[in-house]
Structure 1
C-alpha cells in the first residue's frame, strides 16, 4: 500500500514538472515570436533610414556629422537586433538592443530637427513620403514592443511563481527582460502650455 502511495506521488510530481516545463517552453517560444514581429518592423525601419539620409544629404551637405551619426547608429542597431533575434529572452542582449535603439532614435531626432529647419528639404516629396512611412513604422514598432512585453510578463510570472519557480530554476529558465521604450524621459513628458 505504501509503495502505491509513493508511486502515485512520484507520478504526480513528474506530471506536474512536465506541465510546468511545457508551459515555460511555450511561453519562451511566444516571446521569440513576439520579438520576430518587432524584428520585421525594425528591419523595415533600418531599410528606410539610408534612403532618408540620402535624400537629406542633397540638402544638408554641410551637416555631414549628423548624417554620419545616423548611419553609425543604424549600423549598431542592426547588429544589436541581429543578436537579439538569436536570443530574444536574454536580458543582456535585449538591453544592448534598447541602448542601440536609443542612440538611433536620438540621431534620427537630430536629423528630423535639421530637416524642419530647411524648407526645401521639408517640402521634398520623397522626404515627406519617407518621413510618413518612418512614422508609421515607429507606431508599428510600439505595438509590437507592447506585445513582446506582454509575453515577457506572462513568461516571467510563470517562471517566478512558487512552486513553478522550482522547476524553472531546475531547468535553467532565466527571467527575460522587457524591451524598454526608446524614448528618453524628456520625450515622454507631456508638453506644457504657458499663457
Structure 2
C-alpha cells in the first residue's frame, strides 16, 4: 500500500466523523471550492478506501460494535413492553426502576414541572408523554439484518413446458431452426 500524505490520512479520519466526503475534505484542509471533487476523488483511490476500512474496523473493535451488537439491540427494542415501566395501578414506576433498554432507547419524554408551594421548595414533576422508538421501523431493520425480507414484495416467475412439465431445450441446425420458425408462424393466429 502506498503511503498516504498527511492530508489524505486526515481526510480518511475526518470521513469517519459523518461519512460526508466534501465535509471531510474541508476539515482535512482542502479548499471549499474543490472539496466536493477532491472528496469524491479521494474515495475512488484504492489506498484511501483501504485506509478508511482499516480505520472503521479499528473503531468498531474499540467500541465493540458489530453485527451481533446491532442485532441484540434491535431485539431488545422489539421486546420493549410498556408493562415494564407501569405499576399495577397504571401509574409509572420511578425512573431508576425502569429497565435499561427503556432509559436508553426512548426518543423523548415530556415532563411538566409544577411548584406546589410559594417558597418554591416543593416541586412536582409530572410525566405527560413518552415517545418510544418506531417499532415498525425496528422490525424492518431486524428483517434486513437477518435477510427475512418480510417487507419486500415477493414475486416469482416460472417457465414450464407443455402441461407444466420441463421446458425442452434442443440444439438446432440452421435448417431445423428455419423449419421450426416457419411452422410457428403458420400456427400464429395474429
Greater RCO (Cα-Cα under 8 Å, separation 6 or more): 1
TM-score, normalised via structure 1 length? 0.26
Structure index of larger Rg? 2
TM-score, normalised via structure 2 length? 0.27
Structure with more of its chain in helix, by fraction: 1
